[in-house]
């Protein structure tokens, strides 16, 4: 793990998931920050810190907000699809506003253009291709499917009452959230038109460590990296609410 500090932002602890990921971070071309709409970790101040660091460290930054896919988690928790979609849409817009406010305060002229949510991604040809490939692999590859379901099951279990475990149907609904995120873990460069890119998040599930280690039969693109990025010396400990 290394610590990076820009001129005008707090130091960040950076843990690339592999040597190849470390090389992508070092080149500093593009970073995509994952910002989960229902995670209290991403306060307005935290988003501004991440944005300030990213703008100092990389030539270009984008922020991925899985707004519409968050509805899958709520459906798995028992919400009706209409209610789940409404909650996801409302919180997604709130999260977008926090990001654009942070970027505007840092001098970014068109902050809305730096947010990648479902409206931006569902019409993106590269994203659509990767999403379809992920759905196909999930249907046809038992090992990949089990890894995705295990990760989604763990996340979902943390949102249920103590002692309660998600059933098969709940996990099958919740896993659609992860499959909607997967293209950004596999090939952000093709989605955003960059040469290389590193996806930054503070708490990657084990399935991503396995993905980047080449254990799941499907490797990220050559220019794709992943790094665990957290404020140095201020480790966040807590349970994530619905993402």
pLDDT of residue 11: 86
Identify whether the C-beta of residue 206 lies closer than 8 Å to the C-beta of residue 151.
Answer: yes
Flag whether 129 is in a domain: yes
* pLDDT beneath 50: ranges in the chain: 236-243
Domain range for 210:
12-107+116-231
Domain count, the chain: 1
Q: Does residue 207 form part of some domain? A: yes
Q: Which residues are identified as catalytic?
A: 36
Within-domain flag for 242: no
In a domain, 183, yes or no: yes
Q: Is residue 3 part of a domain?
A: no
- Say if 198 falls within a structural domain: yes
2 in a domain, yes or no? no
> In this structure, what CATH number is given to the domain that contains residue 212?
3.40.50.11710
What is the tens place of the pLDDT at every residue in 66-98?
A: 999 999 999 999 999 999 999 999 999 999 999
pTM for the full predicted model: 0.91
pLDDT given for residue 8 in this prediction: 59
pLDDT in tens, 108-126: 999 999 999 999 999 999 9
Assigned domain for 4 exists: no
Predicted pLDDT of residue 3: 62
């Amino acid at each position: 793990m290394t610590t990076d500090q820009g001129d005008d932002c707090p130091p960040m602890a950076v843990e690339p998931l592999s040597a190849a990921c470390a090389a992508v971070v070092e080149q500093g071309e593009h970073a995509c920050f994952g910002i989960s709409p229902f995670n209290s970790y991403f306060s307005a101040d935290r988003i501004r810190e991440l944005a300030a660091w990213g703008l100092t460290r990389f030539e270009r930054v984008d922020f991925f907000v899985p707004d519409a896919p968050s509805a899958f988690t709520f459906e798995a928790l028992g919400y009706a699809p209409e209610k789940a979609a409404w909650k996801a849409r409302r919180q997604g817009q709130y999260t977008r506003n926090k990001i654009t406010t942070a970027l505007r305060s840092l001098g970014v002229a068109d902050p809305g253009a730096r947010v990648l949510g479902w409206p931006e991604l569902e019409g993106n040809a590269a994203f659509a291709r990767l999403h379809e490939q992920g759905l196909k692999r999930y249907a046809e590859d038992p090992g990949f499917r089990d890894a995705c379901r295990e990760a989604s099951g763990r996340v979902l279990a943390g949102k249920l009452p103590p002692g309660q475990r998600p059933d098969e149907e709940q996990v099958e609904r919740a896993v659609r959230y992860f499959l909607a995120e997967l293209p950004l873990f596999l090939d952000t460069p093709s989605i955003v038109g960059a040469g290389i890119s590193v996806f930054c998040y503070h708490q990657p599930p084990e399935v991503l460590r396995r993905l980047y280690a080449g254990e799941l039969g499907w490797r990220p693109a050559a220019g794709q990296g992943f790094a665990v990025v957290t404020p140095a010396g201020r480790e966040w400990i807590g349970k994530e609410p619905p993402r």
